[in-house]
């Protein structure tokens, strides 16, 4: 028969009786203060030297506390409960918390039942700025997007697109009004190129990009380039009437070097490349219909004579004003 060396009881687990084991072997071994590092600018936590994004700050802190807990060698842990405390995030913040932790388990697998152990653990929350965010709001830039012939729509698009990249550490650090347009200073060279491509896809125009070596990355020792992307938007916009490649197009949208719209000569949708060809943007006039049969006629906006229109396929409401353009001496209804 084996007896507990502490109390003399007969029934033992391993070397001690169950009761003495609870007293002598805590589930949680001695621990040091736990330090948790959060980014003050973004939803990220430093874990084992690496910054990781989180969705819920409390869940991230809780998981990090649990990761630091050390249990006694043979312990079987059933449940860990950490009492919630408010986690603040501010630049430079350092705050000490005494955190209540309840561990349910047993010190040895042969013990009959689980029991609870309450402990208080010091946890320090420290806020710093993750390297990705350290560039925010500084003079730093790796790319300049130079928008020329800018439209409000394109400017808004650019600002919104860059804002969406915040979570990846890309920032718009400066917007400058310059002669002929707007310059955007962006913290990522790669993204500047990508964005220039997207702007071109959506708004057309010409794009010229160039890159220049400016530094070496301190961490990776890789060469760092500054990208300059010059986008010259077309001199015409949506709803303009364009004479191009023998088509008379009411512009609906752009896609790269092509313009999409309705060909007023045929009444059908069409697209055409406008980049390497001459085109004219026609002035639009408002006038009234003077005749509908046998042919549609309008009042010439300059002479007020009743004149033919060259595109006869539309079916206009004669009581309403119409918009017309003139090309090569002929009038066209828009
Ligand atoms: Zn005992």
d(CA 334, CA 325): 7
CB 225 within 8 A of CB 211: yes
Evaluated on CA atoms 246, 251, 253, 255, the torsion sign reads positive
Helix (H, G, I), strand (E, B) or coil at 4: coil
Model confidence band, residue 312 (pLDDT cutoffs 50, 70, 90): confident
- Residue 238 has a pLDDT of 85
The alpha carbon of 22 and the centre of ligand 1 are apart by a number of angstroms equal to 9
Burial of 296 (0-12, 13-18, 19+ CB in 10 A): buried
pLDDT of residue 1 exceeding 80: no
Model confidence band, residue 129 (pLDDT cutoffs 50, 70, 90): confident
Helix (H, G, I), strand (E, B) or coil at 152: helix
Whether the ω angle into residue 288 lies within 30 degrees of 0, i.e. cis, is no
d(CA 280, CA 284): 12
Burial letters 121-153, b for 16+ CB under 10 A, else e: bebebebbbbebbebbeeeebbbbbbbbbbeee
One DSSP character per residue, 54-88 reads: -S-HHHHHHHHHHHH--B-TT-EEEEEEE---PPP
Mean pLDDT confidence for 302-327? 88
- Residue 46 has a pLDDT of 93
d(CA 22, CA 103): 13
pLDDT of residue 101 exceeding 80: yes
Torsions phi, psi for 146 (to 5 deg): -100, 110
Report the share of the chain in percent with pLDDT over 90.
57
The alpha carbon of 9 and the centre of ligand 1 are apart by a number of angstroms equal to 6
Q: Please tell me what DSSP assigns to residue 10.
A: S
The alpha carbon of 32 and the centre of ligand 1 are apart by a number of angstroms equal to 29
The alpha carbon of 120 and the centre of ligand 1 are apart by a number of angstroms equal to 26
pLDDT of residue 220 exceeding 80: no
pLDDT (tens digit per residue) in 34-58: 999 999 888 999 998 889 999 999 9
Q: What is the pTM of this model?
A: 0.60
The alpha carbon of 15 and the centre of ligand 1 are apart by a number of angstroms equal to 9
The alpha carbon of 26 and the centre of ligand 1 are apart by a number of angstroms equal to 15
pLDDT (tens digit per residue) in 142-199: 999 999 999 888 999 999 999 999 888 899 989 998 888 999 999 999 999 999 999 9
- Residue 318 has a pLDDT of 84
The alpha carbon of 81 and the centre of ligand 1 are apart by a number of angstroms equal to 28
Mean pLDDT confidence for 56-70? 94
- Residue 276 has a pLDDT of 80
Which of 77, 63, 79, 41 is CA-nearest to residue 123?
Answer: 63
- Residue 98 has a pLDDT of 94
């Amino acid at each position: 028969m084996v007896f507990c060396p502490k109390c003399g009881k007969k029934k033992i687990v391993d070397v001690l009786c169950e009761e003495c084991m609870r007293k002598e072997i805590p589930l949680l071994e001695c621990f040091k203060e736990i330090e948790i590092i959060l980014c003050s600018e973004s939803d990220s936590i430093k874990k084992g030297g690496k910054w990781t994004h989180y969705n819920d700050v409390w869940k991230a802190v809780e998981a990090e506390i649990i990761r630091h807990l050390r249990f006694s060698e043979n312990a079987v842990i059933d449940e860990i409960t950490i009492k919630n405390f408010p986690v603040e995030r501010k630049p430079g913040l350092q705050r000490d918390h005494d955190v209540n932790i309840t561990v349910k388990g047993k010190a040895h697998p042969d013990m009959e039942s689980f029991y609870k152990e309450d402990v208080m653990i010091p946890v320090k929350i420290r806020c710093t700025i993750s390297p990705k965010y350290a560039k925010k709001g500084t003079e730093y830039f790796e790319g300049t997007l130079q928008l020329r012939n800018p439209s409000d729509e394109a400017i808004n698009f650019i600002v919104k697109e860059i804002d969406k990249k915040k979570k990846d550490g890309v920032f718009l650090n400066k917007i400058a009004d310059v002669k002929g347009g707007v310059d955007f200073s962006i913290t990522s060279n790669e993204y500047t190129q990508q964005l220039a491509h997207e702007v071109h896809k959506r708004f057309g125009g010409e794009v010229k990009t160039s890159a220049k070596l400016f530094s070496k990355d301190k961490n990776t020792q890789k060469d760092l380039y500054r990208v300059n992307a010059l986008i010259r938007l077309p001199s015409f916009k949506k709803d303009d009437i364009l004479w191009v490649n023998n088509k008379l197009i009411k512009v609906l949208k752009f896609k790269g070097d092509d313009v999409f719209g309705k060909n007023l000569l045929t009444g059908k949708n069409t697209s055409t490349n406008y980049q390497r060809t001459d085109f004219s943007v026609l002035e639009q006039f408002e006038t009234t219909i003077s005749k509908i049969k046998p042919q549609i006629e309008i009042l010439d906006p300059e002479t007020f004579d009743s004149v033919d229109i060259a595109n006869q396929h539309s079916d206009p409401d004669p009581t309403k004003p119409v918009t017309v353009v003139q090309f090569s001496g002929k009038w066209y209804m828009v």
